Structure 1
Amino acid sequence: MPLKIVGHPDGFPTILLTHPSGSSAQVLLYGGQVVSWKNERREELLFMSSKTNSKLPKATRGGISVCFPQLGNLGSLEQHGFARTRMWSLDSDPSPLLPANNQSSVNLVSKSTDEDLKIWPHSFELRLHIMLGPGKLTLIPRVRNTDTKAFSFVFALCNYLSVSDISEVRVEGLETLDYFDNLSKRDRFTEQADAITFDGKFERVYLSTPRKIAVIDHEKKRTFELWKDKMPDAVVWNPWDKKAKALPDLGNEDYQSMLCVDSAAIETPVVLKPFEEWKGRQEISTVSSSYCSGQLDPRKVLYGFH
């Protein structure tokens, strides 16, 4: 199924992926960012801010963005790294990843520029393979060290999920895990709740998480199933009302219809020797269910994708 390059309201070149089932996805070349994913009923599954800043070099708030080589303000670079504020290209690698049967896909690449080397002196190639299948969206990031010395980095796919009402959402799969609480000076705690629910500002980095996390939207009777590999951590974030009003690129009420659950490698940075490559994987699917307890099959959690 061929991809199509279309215009975007902000003027950025955009890749349109479509599937015979009726689902679709849009990917900006700016930032290599997924800005839309619709199911076969044309329902939007990703959140986009109502006040998105389209001014370069600002990243677009929402969708699925690539954070590399740092996340947050924990390093010397711009917040969440520079990958999401660079123009990517269609990948001309002679051996790109091939899509699975009955999937539409695109391969993107971002290579270190002279500007990048001034602020982060490591030569690299960052690739992203995006596949749209029936009921699921798969992203496979790859980082290759093209330098003569080793370097380390952290990585995240920041997933803004569209939900009906944040107060009606629960997250399962992170029970009993340790986490860093960014609202408490990054102190380390252990999750005590049977499931995560939301009644205020929330910003935690869960550590050594299972490969599957479920985000249950009771009102929409829909569950997001997030599967991930080589990204052992998970960031869960909602700004709530006061923080939403303070963010210039987020509508005052937007927090009610969004939840970020990110696939990440944070606690232990990835180290690559010269010419080594790291590859991660994330798959998001939806099931028509308002409840997911008992569906987190531990065999699948431990041993692989369904």
Structure 2
Amino acid sequence: MQTQVGLVDDSSTGYPKIILTEPTGSSAEVLLYGGQVVSWKNDRREQLLFRSTKALTKPPKTIRGGIPICFPQFGNSGSLEVHGFARNKLWALDPCPSPLPPSKSQSSIDLILKSTEDDMRTWPHSFELRLRVVLAPGKLTLISRVRNTGSKVFSFTFAMRNYLSISDVSEIRVEGLETLDYFDNLMNGEMFTEQTDAITFDGEVDRVYLRTPTKIAVIDHEKKRTLVVRKEGLPDAALWSPWDKKAKVIPEFVDKDYKAMLCVDSAAVETPIVLKPSEEWMGRQELSFVSSSYYSGQLDPRKVLGY
């Protein structure tokens, strides 16, 4: 198989999508609507990103799944729509990703979203939001950049919301967030400190962990693999699992969809990013997976996280 980037029309949305492939057989799909990665498959054609069974795919609705880009607001704490408007806009191919050097990988794509008059009515700031998606064997890298193209200082919050495909959320362990402070959105944003050695799930979770390490591991015993999130410029991490009760009121979820997904997001939430005119911010995340082995019935997180 050759390394390839293809642009085709997506029948479900009516908008173009980019298909990335690389020689080992892995692939990714990126929609121009929302600049959203909606599929990432490994060399065995296993889907690594969750997409809801009844995903609403007709704009202006965002697909429930993949990796939506949340800008200029994450969550619903501001005056904008939940998670901002970037995920509900039509992006374009970026012909000039400068000053970021051209990607050495042929299996990559650069997208851009520029502020419009419509955006300025709800968020009166001029910006350019760029996204580079790079597919490599066992890895999917996203690099986001925001440039202030106006004459006024502005601030924003940001997240890459990673809907990960898992076997069963009740069997998942998340390593790397131990002893950290977090805001609990189920408790009106009250702050707590994580007390467990590893995070497990037996009910709804909606948290933002603060000042997190650059590596977070999602250990899936049943699938015998570990997904690792590495990030730069994105100091926080959000965890979300709707569980059964919340899932029943989400139109895109059916039956046990909630069991097959976990959001582990790379985010900048606690301290908004401030940009002066002409300044640029960059955030980067790399998703990778490794086959896991058992040791005394448990995985060794030291090997996964590089301790």
* Interval containing the TM-score (normalised by the shorter chain): over 0.9
* Aligned-partner residue type, residue 5 of structure 2: L
Match of 1:150 among 146, 150, 153: 153
Please give the residue correspondences for 1:1-306 in structure 2 after superposition, counting only pairs within 5 Å: 1-10=3-12, 11-93=14-96, 95=98, 97-101=101-105, 104-290=107-293, 291-295=299-303, 296-298=305-307
The CA deviation at 1:250 is 1.9
The CA deviation at 1:7 is 2.4
Whether the 8 Å contact between 2:97 and 2:110 is mirrored in structure 1 is no
Whether the 8 Å contact between 1:223 and 1:292 is mirrored in structure 2 is no
The CA deviation at 1:100 is 3.7
- Give distance in 1, aligned partners of 2:97 and 2:148: 18
The CA deviation at 1:8 is 1.8
- Give distance in 2, aligned partners of 1:126 and 1:188: 31
* Aligned-partner residue type, residue 236 of structure 1: L
- Give distance in 2, aligned partners of 1:149 and 1:8: 38
- Give distance in 1, aligned partners of 2:252 and 2:120: 29
The CA deviation at 1:138 is 0.1
Q: 1:94 to 1:218 in 2, by over 3 A?
A: closer
* Aligned-partner residue type, residue 124 of structure 1: F
- Give distance in 1, aligned partners of 2:97 and 2:276: 23
- Give distance in 2, aligned partners of 1:55 and 1:297: 42
- Give distance in 2, aligned partners of 1:262 and 1:286: 16
Q: TM-score normalized by structure 2?
A: 0.94
* Aligned-partner residue type, residue 87 of structure 1: L
- Which runs of 5 or more residues in structure 2 are unaligned? 294-298
- Give distance in 1, aligned partners of 2:275 and 2:300: 37
- Give distance in 2, aligned partners of 1:203 and 1:94: 35
The CA deviation at 1:3 is 1.3
- Give distance in 2, aligned partners of 1:81 and 1:256: 26
Helix, strand or coil for the counterpart of 1:57? coil
- Give distance in 1, aligned partners of 2:104 and 2:97: 18
Q: 1:239 to 1:107 in 2, by over 3 A?
A: same
Q: 1:32 to 1:97 in 2, by over 3 A?
A: farther
Which region of structure 1 is more displaced relative to structure 2, 141-150 or 287-296? 287-296
Q: Which whole-Å deviations, capped at 9, do the CAs of 1:225-252 have from their partners, x for residues lacking one?
A: 1000000000000000010011112223
- Give distance in 1, aligned partners of 2:60 and 2:82: 12
Q: Which whole-Å deviations, capped at 9, do the CAs of 1:96-122 have from their partners, x for residues lacking one?
A: 542245x51000000001100000000
The CA deviation at 1:137 is 0.1
Q: 1:97 to 1:51 in 2, by over 3 A?
A: farther
- Give distance in 2, aligned partners of 1:54 and 1:17: 20
- Give distance in 2, aligned partners of 1:152 and 1:253: 38
Whether the 8 Å contact between 1:216 and 1:292 is mirrored in structure 2 is no
The CA deviation at 1:6 is 1.5
The CA deviation at 1:94 is 6.0
- Give distance in 2, aligned partners of 1:9 and 1:241: 31
Helix, strand or coil for the counterpart of 1:268? strand
- Give distance in 1, aligned partners of 2:20 and 2:86: 22
* Aligned-partner residue type, residue 98 of structure 1: P
* Aligned-partner residue type, residue 120 of structure 1: W
- Which runs of 5 or more residues in structure 1 are unaligned? 299-306
Whether the 8 Å contact between 2:241 and 2:262 is mirrored in structure 1 is yes
Report the number of matched residues. Answer: 297
- Give distance in 2, aligned partners of 1:216 and 1:18: 26
